[in-house]
Structure 1
């Protein structure tokens, strides 16, 4: 397999996993699958991360996410990639 194909598959997998997190958090249902609403929310998060409260927000969100993963038995992040 060519290098560009491997990179493309890795990127595709990464994007699918990120989309899975959006769905897992319930955002798809809570926004009635409104892409503009989701995008606006993500832009708000990005603005917050560009501001003075970046470190506090990251710490809070990381703790909350880890707790949620632990409750679901998914410690350690995404599963290893398949060959």
Structure 2
């Protein structure tokens, strides 16, 4: 079994079962509960969320810091609330 070290974060959500546009709606709701500068980890899957969630977050003034591919084929988006 592989151990994955997650980036330091304040909150994490899993939106792998969501479809667009709910992927960003769930991300935005999580960001709305956080303070500026805090880090949100978003676990996502699929081509559309992979493209749209980081772009929509940046359009809203947040900073996509990293996008990490996971062994199970999902991705972890590291966002800093703007």
TM-score range, shorter chain: under 0.3
TM-score (norm 2): 0.28
Q: Which TM-score applies when normalising by structure 1?
A: 0.28
Greater Cα radius of gyration, structure 1 or 2: 1
Q: Per chain length, whose mean CA-contact separation is higher, i.e. which structure has more relative contact order (CA < 8 Å, sep 6+)?
A: 2
Please state which structure has a larger fraction of its residues in strand: 2
Structure with bigger helix share is 1
